[in-house]
Amino acid sequence: MKEIIYLDTNLVNSLLAQLNSGLITKLVNEDGESDARTEGSTEQATKKGSVGISALLKAEGDYSSTTIDNYNFVFSKSNKNLVETALDDYSLDLLINGLEAKQLIKLTDYKDGDLISTSGELTAFNFEQLAEASDLEEIGFMLPGYDEFKSLRSEYSKIKDKQKYLARTKDIQKELETNAWNNFDILKNMSAYLKKLLPETNLVKINDTFSILPLEFLRVQNIQLSFMQLGKRKIKMLGICSSTIDEQTTNDLSYMSDGNKIIKHAPTTILSIMLSSFGVINVGDHLVRPIAIYFED
């Protein structure tokens, strides 16, 4: 059984169509059902009789009693179902079986353009979530040593450009660099920038592959995906190798003095520098366009 975490249904159907020389991707049956019923009833009864006032003084008169029972019952039911007979999960199984039958899936020695499959430990990053989680201002009072860190950082910002405090500035700078809370500050700034470069996406690392996942094809919430990293199960990915990092990205951007190079390389270069600095991607890693990511027991 597969527990599917991510599934690009458009890519699955596209590949199936190429394998099978055409594919009906979706057949939708629409069932409508409506039932309404109204019931009503009115009953009226009139009774007449005489009334005695007392034994000594007796008078007779008529009285009437009317009973009306009126009720309405309305039952309404409307149900509309959309049934997709080409199930996405079954389509994935068909695709995997078809690719395996033609030996089109590579397990090692990936090259750009290869259909690949890998299995290993899951590491997931959502930079919007990271930016929020690393902003510790609201819970700083709960964290030991955080107030002292903020005080030190505040002092540094006030004296860093003043020559007469040069020695003190250097001392504070060293303290900040070795302070554990400084890592959260760096993480917050980096994540805030990366969420602009990678909006509405997750970045996933499995073995020597990394993938950018559009949230629209993700089947679990971000927080659930984060906790899945703590499990011991290996996760599988089927995808297409898009490119390979064959050299370390340098921080020296002077080689992009040419305007054309800036337009072509600047976004990916800056992204590579930031991800490499945190060890998210390394030389030899493959960027993979994911088709499906799932657990299989």
Query: Which pair of tokens denotes residue 10?
Result: 């458009």
| CA–CA distances in Å: residue 151 to residues 132, 163, 165, 202, 237 | 22, 21, 17, 34, 46
Query: Which pair of tokens denotes residue 282?
Result: 């390394």
d(CA 289, CA 112): 11
Query: Which pair of tokens denotes residue 248?
Result: 């370390």
Q: What is the pLDDT along the chain (297 residues), one digit of tens a residue?
A: 889 999 999 999 899 888 886 654 454 444 444 444 444 445 555 555 554 444 444 445 555 555 555 544 444 444 343 344 346 888 899 899 999 999 999 999 989 999 999 999 999 999 999 989 888 888 888 889 999 999 999 999 999 888 888 899 999 999 998 898 988 888 898 899 899 888 999 999 999 999 999 999 999 998 999 999 888 899 999 999 999 988 766 556 565 566 666 667 677 878 888 888 888 898 899 999 999 999 998
d(CA 139, CA 150): 13
Q: Provide the CB-side half-sphere exposure for 187 (13 A, CA).
A: 20
d(CA 178, CA 149): 11
For the chain, what is the radius of gyration of the CA atoms? Answer: 35
CA angle (124, 126, 131) in 5-degree steps: 130
pTM: 0.71
